[in-house]
């Protein structure tokens, strides 16, 4: 117990006083402040919103980390031109690309390397937007979402998979049900029948006492 408390104290100390935590990056800070001030959006914010808007929120862990968000978006073919970079600001070209990917029309783009092709395609099908929020409001829930994580392997008590999953769940791509077949005490008793308890010896019967015959 003493060693455990020591470990916990050590980790908490490391968490609070981590030299990494103190590492300040003025450029990143300036960019994030600019983003907040000018109502711009970073790719991290866009990715987080997309997971909610596309109906993927039930498929990522409750405390979804950036990697969870990027992984499920990539698995469903949704990504800016150069991949997800949390500090990049969202550009019109990337936004158009993502909207087309969400529509499932990627194959219809003539020149995928050119941002203009993606923007032109949206115009050709009558999709127009003035702001990022406008664009997001036009994105529908995605029907054919795929979660390639066949089984949840996390060991984190805050995100590990439900021990229990209904039989035949096969909704998300080619997922497998986590194998769980409980063997309860009752089941074990049936597998290993217990010997009948030996009944305690019956107490000796009291010898019948003949009542005194009434005297005549």
Partner 1 sequence: MKQFKIMGLIAITALFSHAGAMAAEAGSGGNWLSVGNRLRFEYDDNVYEKSSGKEDSFKLIEELELGVTLNFEPTFLTLRYRPSFSWWENREPDDTDLHHDFDVVLNHRASPRLSMGLKNTFRYAESPEEIDRGTVVRENGDYIYNVTDGNLDYQILPRTYMLVGGRYTVLRYDESTVAQTEDYDIWAAGLTLRQNITDLSRVMADYRRESISYDGDDRGSDSDYIGLGLEHVLGASFVGVLRGGYQMKDFNDATIEDAEEPYFDVTLTYIYSPRTRFSAGGGFSMFESDIYPFANQDRTIFFASVAHELTAKISLYLAGSYQLSEYDTDQRIANDLDLPSDFSGDEDIMQGSARVAYQVNARNSLEINYQYIDLQSDLREDFDRNRISIGWRLDI
Note whether 36 binds partner 1 by CB under 8 A: yes
Q: Is 13 left (phi over 0), alpha (psi -120 to 50) or beta?
A: alpha
Note whether 39 binds partner 1 by CB under 8 A: no
Which residues, 160 to 179, sit near partner 1 by CB under 8 A?
Answer: 162-171, 173-177, 179
Which of 8-47 are b and which e, b meaning 16 or more Cβ less than 10 Å from the residue's Cβ?
A: eeeeeeeeeeeeeeeeeeeeeeebbeebeeeeebbbbebb
From the list 183, 186, 151, the residue with the least C-alpha distance to 170 is: 151
Cβ–Cβ < 8 Å for 129, 138? yes
How many residues form the binding site for partner 1 (CB under 8 A)? 100
- Joined together, the tokens standing for residue 213 give 């015959």
Q: Residue 121 Cβ, how far from partner 1 at the closest point, in Å?
A: 16
Segment interacting with partner 1 (CB under 8 A) among 63-71, 115-123, 203-211: 63-71
Which residues, 119 to 158, sit near partner 1 by CB under 8 A?
Answer: 133, 136-138, 140-141, 143-144, 146, 148-151, 153-158
Segment interacting with partner 1 (CB under 8 A) among 71-79, 116-124, 203-211: 71-79
Rounded to a whole number, what is the distance in angstroms from the first to the last CA of the chain? 87
Q: Residue 53 Cβ, how far from partner 1 at the closest point, in Å?
A: 6
Nearer residue to partner 1 within complex by CB, 3 or 212: 3
Backbone angles phi, psi at 7, to 5 degrees: -60, -45
Segment interacting with partner 1 (CB under 8 A) among 7-15, 117-125, 206-214: 7-15
Among 2, 15, 206, 216, binds partner 1 (CB under 8 A): 15
Nearer residue to partner 1 within complex by CB, 33 or 202: 33
Q: Residue 183 Cβ, how far from partner 1 at the closest point, in Å?
A: 4
Q: Residue 202 Cβ, how far from partner 1 at the closest point, in Å?
A: 25
Note whether 198 binds partner 1 by CB under 8 A: no
Cβ–Cβ < 8 Å for 132, 92? no
Query: In whole angstroms, what is the distance from residue 126 CA to residue 121 CA?
Result: 9
In angstroms and rounded to an integer, the radius of gyration of the C-alpha atoms of the chain is: 33
- Joined together, the tokens standing for residue 174 give 């080619």
Segment interacting with partner 1 (CB under 8 A) among 116-124, 189-197, 199-207, 208-216: 189-197
């Amino acid at each position: 117990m003493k060693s455990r408390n020591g470990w916990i104290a050590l980790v908490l100390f490391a968490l609070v006083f981590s030299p990494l935590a103190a590492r300040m990056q003025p450029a990143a800070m300036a960019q994030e402040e600019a983003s907040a001030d000018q109502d711009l959006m970073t790719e991290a914010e866009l990715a987080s919103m997309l997971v909610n808007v596309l109906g993927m929120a039930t498929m990522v862990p409750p405390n979804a980390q950036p990697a969870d968000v990027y992984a499920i978006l990539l698995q469903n073919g949704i990504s800016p031109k150069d991949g997800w970079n949390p500090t990049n600001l969202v550009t019109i070209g990337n936004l158009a690309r993502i909207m087309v990917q969400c529509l499932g029309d990627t194959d219809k783009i003539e020149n995928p390397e050119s941002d203009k092709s993606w923007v032109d395609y949206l115009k050709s099908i009558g999709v127009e937007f003035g702001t990022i929020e406008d664009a997001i409001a036009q994105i529908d829930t995605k029907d054919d979402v795929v979660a390639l994580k066949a089984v949840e392997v996390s060991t984190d008590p805050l995100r590990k998979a439900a021990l229990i999953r209904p039989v035949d769940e096969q909704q998300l791509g080619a997922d497998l049900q986590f194998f769980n077949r409980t063997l309860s005490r009752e089941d074990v008793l049936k597998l290993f029948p217990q010997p009948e308890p030996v009944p305690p010896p019956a107490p000796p019967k009291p010898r019948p006492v003949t009542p005194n015959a009434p005297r005549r």
